[in-house]
Structure formats: structure tokens, C-alpha cells
Structure 1
């Protein structure tokens, strides 16, 4: 058998389509080239991230898009090598695709949503988001689902359509710091200016609170049993900010005790209405 006969030998044959050793070699070369392009793309994107031209989330989103595009082109090129025309394949299976599309409508919705997320970058890897009152960090965005790690270390698999159609609060979108608040009430008669100073100082003394913008305290209301204040501060530590809030509350309590400022208990005035007394018949 000559080399020409060997490479044209039909290993698998089905109708007008067949697979020869030449097809197999072409497929192997195509896969190697595609894999090489993916690796090079990953290195290029990583260099852009390291240089600061891309943030980590957008860089990974760009690589995902390139990765999926290369895989799709590789599959189309592989089918074309064995003589399968993708246009004829789609035309011949149009009715089947319609049925599959109706049955997998939600899956296609999630896939399209994943593509939108990767292109738009409204939610990227590393973002701190709040979805359905659950705060978590986006660990991975795939073509259909995304992985979100909560503060409890639990990984939630979320369909991408939820991140597109639902109300998602992105704490870290286009910013490195986020504003948080702590509310506290003090007893009537307290020195308002001193309370506001102690609140601001308590935040400034915490290493995770940024100095610019600086923390601010404000007097928000006259409560039923207290003067109500609010402390506003900015921090880069968004994922586990509750620990920062806890530390600041401890510092506030300490400073209030040192300056004889009281955090009051809720107070209620009770009025008792006396009714007519019943007479007791002592003859019985």
C-alpha cells in the first residue's frame, strides 16, 4: 500500500461521508493549533492583567469569550474537513432544533445571558454582589452558570439569567471602595458634637477604613427614646465588612463608656386605668 493509498483509506464510512487517516491527522493538527492559540491568548490576557491594562474580572471575561470562540470555530472547521457542511446540517435539522429550543428554552436563556455578561462586564469575576439578600463573591462565570461564594464559604451555582434579569447589587462595580454605615442611638441630653466626633474617631482608628473619603457622622433623627446618629465610612474590605463593622462598634462602645455617653434601653410610658371595685358580701 502506497502512502497515497494509506492516507486516503476509508477507516469509517457512512453514506457520502467518510473518515480517512488524512482527516485524523488534520483533526489532530487543528486541535493542537487551537490549543496553542488558547494558551497564547491566556498568557497575553494575563500579561495585560499584570500590567494593569485590564482588571482581573474583565481579563478573565475576555479570555472566556476567546476560549469559546476558538472552540466553536474548531468544531466547525473539523466538521468541514470530513465533508459536513454546517449550513446544510442546520437546514436539515431546523425542525429538530425548534423542538429542542422550546424544550431547552431556559438553558438557552442562561447561555445567552452568560454571553451578555462576558461582553458587557456588568458582573465580572471577583465582584462582590448582593442577590436575593445574599452577599457573595463571584468566583467564576461560565457560559451557562456562575459560581458565587458566600460569606459562609458556601458556593452557590446561579443561572446566568438571574444575574441579568434580577436586581443585582454590585458593590464593587467600577470602584475599589464602597460606603457602609453604622446606626447608633444615645440618651437624650448627650453632647451631640462629642458623639459625632467619637463616632468619626472610632472609624478612623480602624486600619480597614480608608481616609479619603473620610468617615462622617450625622445626626439623623429624634427617636422615641434616643438621639439617633449614623456613621458613614468607606472600606476596600467589602466581602467580610461585617467584621469591620463589629470592630468599629466595639470601639464606639468603649469611647462612649469613657465619656459617660449612654446608649439607652427602649422606654415606654404605661398608663393604668382603674375600674370600679367589686363589693364583697361578707355574709356568705
Structure 2
């Protein structure tokens, strides 16, 4: 079995080097092990300098970021960059010192580099997207509501392209694998159609964004609560009973969704119906109701509370007190407190709250058995 002379391997390695470094490579040709060690040490020094100098300088360019996404991204990029530089040095050293087995070692080192970048991008692509959608920046490139969908898409692309490159590194034809994956995908699609329905529904929910994490929603199925998690398969909602329920995305996508936290403002309106007796001063009632709403500390100041007289009821003058709250889950408590305050205020001002009354008229008293009927004198 013939092997390539070390001189030729050194020349092949040094083809990409400047001419000023060619004499040094020629000198190392006679001592390949020494040259490989020198290349590896140089790669280590370069990786350490890159980690200490370059990344430290990059952090100085982000003084306002603090512990934000920019600083976190730089911290996480140090490991794959360091690994890449060291592995490239090892590849060159292996080609110089071990020409016979350099191909296998090169593939192994290239695999280490690819896996390092795949893990980093898969775990922290959300941090990169968060940096690109920074609301404090004037040049935000991504809408903050689209982050979950883009994060999922980026992770899928990282897995697909990373797997494709790994196959190319080891000289495996990916076309055959893709054809086999297509046949397997059809079989899996028929076997897991419900799961796929949830996955596609989750994809469309993330794309359409009818709600986001933190919104208070009412679903067509009857569930009501705050959204705590949006996934590809399901959505989690924390109800007012502090119970977290998990709903399949296909069920949510097929029904009506009422987002109480949506719209131009996060505040929602609460309507309290009040009826007073006929003969009450309507303007006085409006002032009483408005004063009760203004004194409540948990109501938002904009929009201001409003009082509207709605109609002449069957036995009352009907008013509506319109107030706005910032937290939808506090609606029950605030409504209770307002009703108690309204009752007390109307009682203090002697405003009657009508209630159902019935007058009973007795046409004649019933007679006991054996009692003679009264004689009608007019009948004589």
C-alpha cells in the first residue's frame, strides 16, 4: 500500500498559504509531527485570542444591551467558534502527520463542527430572532407576535440542512434517503392523521396569531382563562380555578375564539345594569353611579366610567354603568365590589330599588262544609 510522501502532503496543505509562509512549510516537511504540533498549537492560540479579544470587543459594542439577547447570543457563540477553529487546525495537522487516515479523521472533525453549530443554532435561534425583533430598536425586522412561528421554522431548517450536510460529509447520497423518507411519511400520515391535524392547526395558529401567551380568551368549547403556552400540538390555558387545561389545536382552530385581551387596548368593558323606581331623579342616579365608579381604585382612568339610561322598564328606570378594567380575570371581584357600593350609595340617598310586588284581591270567602249559605235579601 503506497502513501503520499510527507513533502507532497505539506505542499498540498500549504497551497492556500501566502508565499511568505512557504519556506516555513518546506522546513516543516522534513518533520511532519513537529509541523502538526505547531499547527495545532497555532490553532489553539488563535481560538483563545478570538474568544478573549474579538468577543470582548463585540460586547463593548452592546453596552445598552446588558443581559439582553445580544449578550446571550455572543456568549453562546463562543463555544462553536472555538470548536471550529480548533477542529480546522486538527484537520490540517492530520493531513500533514497522518496522510493515510486523514480522510476518516477529517470527517469526524467536520462532524464535530457541524454538530456544535447545529446544537447552538437549535437551542438559541430564538435568541437571535428576539434580537432582530427588539422593540426598543428603531430597526426591528420581525414582528414580536411572529416569534414562535419563526422559531419553530428555524429549528426545522437547522435539523434538515444539518442532516443534509452530515450526509454529504460522509459521502452518503441523500436522494435515496429522501425517497425512503417520502414513503415512510405517507404511511405515518395515514397512521397519525389526528396528530398531524393538531400540528397543522398549531402552525396556522402561530401564523395567524389569534391570541398570544398572556392573553385572556374564551373558547367556543366553553373554556375561559389565560393562555400560558402555545405549542404545535396543543395550547395550555390557566382557568380562574387555577387549573391548567390542555386543548388540542385542532379543536381550537375549528371553533370561535373570543380574545378579551385583544383589540387596540388591553382593557375591557364591564357593564352593570341598575334599575331604580319610577319617580327617582334620573340626574341624581347618574351622579351616584358615576361617583361610585370614580372612587374604585382598580378601574382604568382612560376610558372614564360612563352612565347611560337605557329604557323605561316595566317597573323601573333602567341604567347601565360602563367601566373599564385592565385585568379580565378580575371582572368578578370588581363587579361584586361595585354592586355592593352601588347598593349602599342608593340607600344613603334614599333612592328606591324596585322589586317585584303583587296585590291579591279576594273576591269572596270560602264557606265551611255544613254552613248554610247566606240569604240574599235582594233575591226575595
- Under a length normalisation based on structure 1, what TM-score does the superposition of the two structures give? 0.78
Residues 100-249 of structure 1 mapped to structure 2, 5 A cutoff: 100-131=188-219, 132-174=221-263, 175-249=265-339
1:48 is aligned to 2:48: no
Aligned counterpart, 2:152: 68
CA offsets per residue over residues 235-273 of structure 1, 9 Å max, x none?
A: 222222222212221221121111011223333455667
Aligned counterpart, 2:69: none
CA offsets per residue over residues 24-71 of structure 1, 9 Å max, x none?
A: 4144223244147526415515x72456998xxx62x43322322222
1:263 is aligned to 2:353: yes
C-alpha distance in 2 between matches for 1:257 and 1:243: 22
More helix by share: 2
Aligned counterpart, 2:57: none
C-alpha distance in 1 between matches for 2:135 and 2:268: 22
C-alpha distance in 2 between matches for 1:277 and 1:218: 55
CA offsets per residue over residues 77-129 of structure 1, 9 Å max, x none?
A: 23221256666444334444333223322222222222222222221112111
Corresponding residue SS for 1:190: coil
CA offsets per residue over residues 166-207 of structure 1, 9 Å max, x none?
A: 111111213222211111222333222211221122112222
Aligned pairs, how many?
Answer: 268
Corresponding residue SS for 1:82: helix
Question: Per-residue deviation at 1:234?
Answer: 1.8
Structure 1: gaps spanning 5 or more residues: 10-19
1:7–1:22 Cα contact (<8 Å) kept: no
- Alpha carbons of structure 1 residues 271 and 143: separation in structure 2 relative to 1, 3 Å: farther
- Alpha carbons of structure 1 residues 177 and 115: separation in structure 2 relative to 1, 3 Å: same
- Alpha carbons of structure 1 residues 133 and 51: separation in structure 2 relative to 1, 3 Å: farther
- Alpha carbons of structure 1 residues 256 and 185: separation in structure 2 relative to 1, 3 Å: same
C-alpha distance in 2 between matches for 1:50 and 1:271: 76
C-alpha distance in 2 between matches for 1:63 and 1:4: 48
Moved more, 84-93 or 229-238: 84-93
C-alpha distance in 1 between matches for 2:150 and 2:100: 37
Aligned counterpart, 1:13: none
Corresponding residue SS for 2:226: strand
C-alpha distance in 2 between matches for 1:189 and 1:85: 91
C-alpha distance in 2 between matches for 1:140 and 1:52: 29
C-alpha distance in 2 between matches for 1:217 and 1:231: 5
1:79–1:85 Cα contact (<8 Å) kept: no
More strand by share: 1
Structure 2: gaps spanning 5 or more residues: 1-96, 373-380
**Higher relative contact order (CA closer than 8 Å, sequence separation 6+):** 1
- Under a length normalisation based on structure 2, what TM-score does the superposition of the two structures give? 0.60
1:79 is aligned to 2:168: no
Larger radius of gyration: 2
1:144–1:160 Cα contact (<8 Å) kept: yes
